[in-house]
Structure 1
Amino acid sequence: MTSQLLASRERCVDEGLEAAAATNPGYLYIPEHRLIADRRWLMKDGKGKHQVALVTGGGSGHEPFCVGYVGTGMLGAAVAGHVFTSPPPAAVAAAITTVGRDNPAGVLVVVFNYTGDRINCGLAVERCRAAGMKIVGAMTEAGASLEEAMNTCKRLSEAIGTIGVAASGCTLPGASAPLFTVGEGVMELGLGVHGETGAATIKAGTLQEVVEMLLNHLTRKDSETRLDLQSGDKVAVIINNLGGLSQLELSNLTNEVVSQLKNRGVEVKRVYPGQLMTSLDMRGLHVSVLRLLDPTWLPLLDAPTTAPAWPTPYLNTTTTSQFSMPNLTLTQTKMDTGYMLSDAAHTQALKACLEAVVAQVPQYEQHLNDLDTTCGDGDCGSTLIKGINGVSKELSGLPLMYPSQVLGVLGEVTASYMGGTSGGVYSILFTAAAAHITSPKASHRLTWATALRAGCDAISKYGGARQGDRTMLDALLPAVEVLEGSPDNHDLRTILKAMATAADEGSKKTAYMGARCIR
C-alpha cells in the first residue's frame, strides 16, 4: 500500500470539497450533489441574475479542476464526480438549476471532452429543458450573451492546441500500485489523464529535447489536430503540471517553452504555469498554446477573477441571511403515457426480457472486467452489475403496460446505480427511447423501432460515437435495423431472435475495428 494521506477512498473527494468551501467563504457547498457554487448567484437582491452563467463538471483526481475555477469572471458552479468518474446527471442538473433558475441570460455548460462527461452533462441539459473557461468567463462577466459566449468557445477551440507527455502513471486512492506504468527510460507522448494510451512512446531526453519534441508534434503538418502556429503570432501559453513535477522542474519547463517559442518567431504575451488540471500524482505536463487571433482575448485573460485556482482565493463576507438556498427540484412536464400494451402477452414478454437480463448478465461480470483491464480501469462488468441490481430492485413495481414509463425508470436506475460513463450511456439510451414511445405508430414493431432508433441517435449526439467506432452502437444498430425492416406479420419471438443474431454479429465485428470514438 502506498503512503497516501487521504481520509479514505470513499471520502477523499468529499473531504477535498469541504476543504475548498472552508478555504473560500464565497463558496456554497451542496454535499449531496458534490456541488460548489458561487454565492453571488443566490443573492436575494438579484445581483448576478442577468448574465450568462458558466457551469462545468468532471471526475475528481484532476484538482484544482473544476471547483477551483468557481468565482467571479469564471464559473458560476461546478460539480465533482468520484475519482476519474463523471458526475451523475442529477448533480449537473442541480448546478444548472442553482445558477440558472430565474436567470433570463441563460447557462452555458462547458463539458470536459470525455464521453461520460458529454453524456451525463447532455442528459442533465435535456432534463432541464424538459422541465476555453477564462476568456468566456470574463466575457459573460462583462455582459456577453449566451450566443456570443458559445461562438467564442468555438473560436477558442479552433485557436488552441494542447500536447502532453508523462514519465509515470498515477495511483488511485487506496491502490497499492499505479493504475498504469510508463517504462524505464521512456516517456509517453499524448498519454491521457486517465491513463489512455498516448500517440507514441519516446525515449526520455533532456529538458530541451522534450520541449522541442512537444512543440514539433503540436505543429506537425500531417496531424489532423495540429495548431497552425506561424512566425509573428501572438500567443498565450499554459504549462500544466499533471501533479508529480516539482515547482523547480515546472519553472524550468516554462522557461524552455517560452524560449523555444520565441526562437520560432512567436510572441508569447502571457504564460500561465501551475497545477491547473492534474492527474493525481502523474509525473508529466501539458503544454497548451492559444493563438490570440482576436484582439479582445488578451484583455479578457487579464480581467480580474476571484476563482482561487487562477489563483487568488475568493473572499466573500456575505452571511447566510443575505442569500437564498437554491430550489433544486426540476419541474418536469408530466409524461404522456400514451402508448399502452393492452395485450397481456406483450406485457409478459417485456417482463420476461427484463427478468432474463437480470438472471443472465451477472455470470459475465468477471469476463467483462478482464476485457476492460486491457483498455480501461477493469470495472466494466462490476459497473454493469450495479445497474442490473438496480433493475432487479425496481422490477416488481414497473408499470409494464406503459413502455415509456418502464424505459424512463430504466434510465433513472442506470444513471443512479451505475454512474460514470456506462451509466450515462445506458441512461441516455433509455431516456431518449422513453420520450419517443409515448405516441403509438402504425404497429407495435414500428413504435419500438422508432424509440430504439431515437435512443441510439441520442448516444451518438452526446457521446460522439457512430457505427464503426467500436462501441455498443455496433451491436445495437444492426438489431434496430432488423426491427425496422421486419414485416408486421412476423411473430415477436422470430423478430427478437433475428435482432439477437444481428447484435451478436455486430459485436463480433468490433474485434477487427479500430477505436475512433473519444473515451
Structure 2
Amino acid sequence: MTRLFNEPAAFADEMIEGFVASHGRWVRRVSGGVARSTKSTPDTVALVIGGGSGHYPAFAGLVGQGLAHGAAMGNLFASPSAQQVYSVAKAANNGAGVLLGYGNYAGDVLHFTQAQERLRREGIDCRSIAVTDDVSSAPLEERAKRRGIAGDLTVFKVAAAAAEAGYSMDRTVEIAERANDRTRSFGVAFTGCTLPGAENPLFTVPEGRMAVGMGIHGEPGIDETGIPTADELAELLVGKLLTEVPEGLQARGARVVPILNGLGSVKYEELFVVYRRVAQLLAEAGLEAVDPQVGELVTSFDMAGTSLTLFWLDEELETLWNAPADAPAFRRGAVTAAALEAGDADLADPVAAIPDATDESRAAAVRVLAALGAAKDVIDANVEELGRIDAIAGDGDHGIGMERGVRAAVEAATGAVERGAGAATTLHLAADAWADRAGGTSGALWGMALRAVGDAVGDSTTPDAGAVATGVAGAAAAIMGFGKAKVGDKTLVDVLVPFRDALSAAVGSGQSLTDAWGAAATVAQQAAEETANLLPLMGRARPHAEKSLGTPDAGAVSMALIVRAIHNTFAEAKAAATTTKENA
C-alpha cells in the first residue's frame, strides 16, 4: 500500500514538485507537467508524452535529451486535462510541430485530441500516436481498441530519436506508427495496487492465484490461474506474444527488444530469474534479443506483477532505439549536454477577464455557486464509495477525480462571483477548472456539461427553466458527440439522457424549475441504479465487462447524486423566498 502521503487529492501535485526538485538536471516545471530543462535544437519536432500519475518512470522519467521534450502529468491513474497537454506542448514546441504520445485510454484520447485541435487552430502542426500494445485488452482484429502499457517506451523512444535526428513531422509520425505496429505486450499480477488514502487495493487476487492480462491502472485481469514457477511464467508470457508475430514478419531470424517490466513490487532479482527463461525461449524460437530491458519502466504503484513486451525491429528502428538518450529513468550512450533553459516557465494561470453581466445574471451566479457547493458536499461524502464502485471493473480513480474536479469548480466559481461574474461566466470558469483539475474522462465530460449550461443561460438575462433545460440538452449532445457513448453503454449517459428527457418534459408542461428538476432527479436516481444490469461497452471497464454486472456505473451514480443535491439547493431557495414573502 501507499504509506507516505499528506492529502490524497494533493498527492500528484506534491509528487511532481518533489520530482522536479530532485531532477532539475533533466526537467523543469511547466504548467501541466514537466519539460526538458535543457535547450532543444530549433525547428525540430517536439515529442510530448503523458498520462496519469502513478506509473513512474512513465511519464516524467522519460523526459530528457534524446527522449521526450515534455510530459503532461494527470492525477493518479487519470489522464491529464486538455489544458495541461496544451500548456506542456506550448512549452516544449521547437518550431516544427508537436507529436503527442499517450496510451490508448478514453480519457487520454479525449483530452489529447482536444489539445491537438487547439494547437492546430493556433497554426501549430500537431499529430498524435495512441499506443496499443496490450494484446489482452482486445482481439487482433480490433487492435485499435487495445490499451497502451509498457510498449509506450518503445514507441516514445524511437519517435523521440527520430525527432532528435531532425526527421520531418511526417517521417516522425511514420516511425511512431511503425513502432506501435511492431510492439506487443502481455502481463500478469499477483496483488492489486492501493491508491494513497485508500484502505483497500483496487482489486484483489485470491491467495495462491495470479491474474492474467491485467492493465496498469488497477484493472483486474481477464483470467485467473494458479501461481506458476518463474520458468512457467516465462513460458506463458513468451508463448502468448509469439502467437501474434506482426504482419509480414516471421519469428525465426527476427531481431527483437524484449522488455520485462516490473509493475511496482516485484523485486528485480525475481525479474532476472524470469528473464533467464525468457531469453532461452526467445533463442529457441530463433529470435535474437537486442538490448534487453529488465526493470521497472511502467509501474502501477505497489502492484505485484510483471509484463513482457516484444519490440520487433527493422534496421531503421534498431538504429533509433540505440540512439543516445539521457532522461532521469532511461539513459544510453553518450549525449552532449545541452545548455540549460533560462528559467522555469511561468506557472501562474492568467486571470480571465470578467464580461459585463446584468444584476439578474449575477444573482443567478450566486445560485450556481450554491449548486456547485452542494455538488462538492455530496461528492466529498461519497468519494470512497465512488472509488469502490469504479474499482469493480475499472481503475478506482473516479471518486478522487470527481473530488478534485468539483473542488476546483467551486473555487473558480467563488472567485468569479466575487468579481461580479454572471451565470454563464461563472459556469464557464467552473467548467474549465473542473476539466483541468480532474483530468480523466469524467473531467472532460463534466467540463463540457457545465460549459453547455453556461452557453444556454448567458450573462444578460435571468435564467429560466427553459434555458436550463436547453443547457442540459446541450450538455447531453456535447458529451455524446465527443465521447461517442450512447444509452446502454453503461456510462453517465445512461443517467444524463433520461434526466434530460424528464426535465424537458416537465418544463414543457409548465412546471417550475424546482419541481421539474426534482422530478427529473428521481428519474436520474432510478436510471443510475439500473446501470447495474448493464455491461460496459466503453472505457477501461470494457475488457472486464462481466465483473461489473450487479454494480452500477460510478459515473452514473455520481451524476445522480449531484443532480439530487442541486435540487435540494433549488428547494431551499424556493422555501426561503416563500418565507421572506410571507414575512414581508
Do both share a fold (TM > 0.5)? yes
2:204 equivalent to 1:157: no
TM-score, length basis structure 1: 0.76
Q: In the alignment, what sits opposite 1:468?
A: 488
Q: Could you say which residue in structure 1 is the equivalent of 2:34?
A: 35
1:74, CA displacement in angstroms? 1.8
* Superposed counterparts of 1:68-87, under 5 Å: 68-87=61-80
- Which residue is equivalent to 2:275? 254
SS of the counterpart of 2:327? coil
Matched, 1:370 2:385: yes
Measure, in 2, the Cα distance between the counterparts of 1:360 and 1:138: 47
Aligned to 2:296: 275
Matches of 2:4 and 2:233 in 1, distance apart?
A: 32
The CA deviation at 1:55 is 0.7
Q: How does 1:93-132 map to 2 (within 5 A)?
A: 93-100=86-93, 103-129=94-120, 132=155
Question: For the Cα contact (< 8 Å) 2:34–2:71, is it kept in 1?
Answer: yes
In structure 2, relative to structure 1, the CA distance for the partners of 1:353 and 1:508 (3 Å cut) is: farther
The answer to whether structure 1 residue 166 and structure 2 residue 189 are counterparts is yes
Counterpart of 2:235?
Answer: 212
Question: In the TM superposition, what is the alpha-carbon distance from 1:274 to its structure 2 partner?
Answer: 2.3
Q: Aligned equivalents of 2:121 and 2:426: distance in 1? A: 18
Structure 1 residues 18 and 176: CA distance shift in structure 2, 3 A:
farther
Pair 1:108–1:401, CA change in 2 (3 A): same
1:299 Cα shift?
Answer: 1.9
1:485-511 per-residue CA deviation (whole Å, 9 max, x = no partner) reads 999897774875786566455434421
2:77 touches 2:397 (CA, 8 Å); kept in 1? no
CA apart distance, 1:53: 0.2
The answer on 1:412 being equivalent to 2:405 is: no
Deviation at 1:62, TM superposition (A): 1.9
Structure 1 CA distance, aligned partners of 2:475 and 2:441?
20
Distance in 1 between the 2:4 and 2:159 partners? 36
Give 1:40 shift. 1.5
Unaligned runs of 5+ in 1: 42-47
In 2, distance between residues paired with 1:490 and 1:296?
Answer: 69
CA contact (8 A) 1:162 1:287 kept: yes
* Contact residue 409 and residue 429 of structure 2 kept, 8 A: no
Whether the aligned pair in 2 keeps the contact of 1:14 and 1:34 (CA below 8 Å) is no
Q: Tell me the percent identity.
A: 27
Q: 1:251 to 1:435 in 2, by over 3 A?
A: farther
**Aligned mates of 2:217, 2:530 — CA distance in 1:** 27
Q: Where does 1:5-24 land on structure 2 (aligned, <5 Å)?
A: 10=11, 11-21=14-24
* Structure 1 letter corresponding to 2:262: N
Counterpart selection for 2:157 from 130, 134, 144: 134
What does residue 513 of structure 1 align with? 534
Contact 1:238-1:271 within 8 A present in 2 as well: yes
Worse overlay, 270-279 or 488-497: 488-497
Structure 2: give runs of 5+ residues left out of the alignment. 123-154, 461-465, 541-584
Hey, what's the Cα distance between the residues in 2 that align with 1:454 and 1:378?
22
Count the aligned residue pairs: 490
What secondary structure sits across from 1:279 in the alignment? coil
Say if 1:367 and 1:173 are closer, same or farther in 2 by CA, change over 3 A.
closer
CA distance in 2, matches of 1:424, 1:479: 19
Helix, strand or coil at the partner of 2:373? helix
Q: Retained in 1: the 8 A contact 2:456–2:467?
A: no
Q: Which residue of 1 aligns with 2:60?
A: 67
CA distance, structure 1, for counterparts of residue 97 and residue 110 of structure 2: 21
| C-alpha distance in structure 1 between counterparts of 2:162 and 2:96, whole Å | 13
**Displacement of 1:366:** 3.5
Map 1:307-386 → 2, pairs under 5 A: 307-312=327-332, 323=342, 326=345, 352=367, 355-356=370-371, 358-359=373-374, 362-363=377-378, 365-367=380-382, 369-374=384-389, 375=391, 376-377=396-397, 379-380=399-400, 382-383=403-404, 386=407
- CA-to-aligned-CA distance 1:88-139 (integer Å, 9 cap, x gap): 5444333111122xx4311111123344444444444455456620111122
| Distance verdict in 2 for CA 1:65–1:401, change over 3 Å | closer
Distance 1:508 1:176 in 2: 25
Contact 1:38 1:76 in 2 (8 A): no
Are the aligned partners of 1:69 and 1:310 in contact in 2 as well (CA < 8 Å)? yes
Look up the match of 2:325.
305
Distance, in Å, in 2 between the alignment partners of 1:160 and 1:56 is: 17
Give me the whole-angstrom Cα distance separating, in 2, the residues matched to 1:97 and 1:220. Answer: 42
Match for 1:263: what amino acid?
E
Q: 1:32 to 1:448 in 2, by over 3 A?
A: closer
Structure 1 SS opposite 2:220: coil
Q: C-alpha deviations, 1:350-386, integer Å up to 9, x for none?
A: 8656644533663464445324314215735644652
**Take 1:481 and 1:96, find their aligned partners in 2: how far apart are those partners?**
40
- Deviation sequence 1:238-260 (CA, Å, 0-9, x none): 21122323333222322322322
* Structure 2 contact 23–328 (Cα < 8 Å) conserved: no
- Aligned residues of 2:65 and 2:325 also touching (Cα < 8 A): yes
Instruction: Give the Cα separation in 2 of the matches to 1:491 and 1:188.
Output: 53
Cα drift, residue 444 of structure 1: 5.7
- Find the counterpart in structure 2 of residue 44 from structure 1: none
Matches of 1:142 and 1:454, distance apart in 2? 44
Q: CA separation in 1, counterparts of 2:225 and 2:455?
A: 49
SS in structure 1 at match of 2:430: helix
Deviation at residue 324 of structure 1 after TM alignment: 6.3
How far, CA to CA, are the matches of 1:54 and 1:273 in structure 2? 25
Question: What letter is aligned with 1:105?
Answer: A
Letter of the 1:358 counterpart: G
Q: 1:334 to 1:273 in 2, by over 3 A?
A: same
**What's the offset of the Cα at 1:327?**
6.4
**CA distance 1:187–1:227, change in 2 (3 Å):** farther
- CA–CA distance in structure 2, aligned partners of residues 291 and 361 of structure 1: 49
Distance 1:314 1:130, change over 3 A: farther
* Distance in 2 between residues matched to 1:156 and 1:469, nearest whole Å: 32
SS of the residue corresponding to residue 379 of structure 1 reads helix
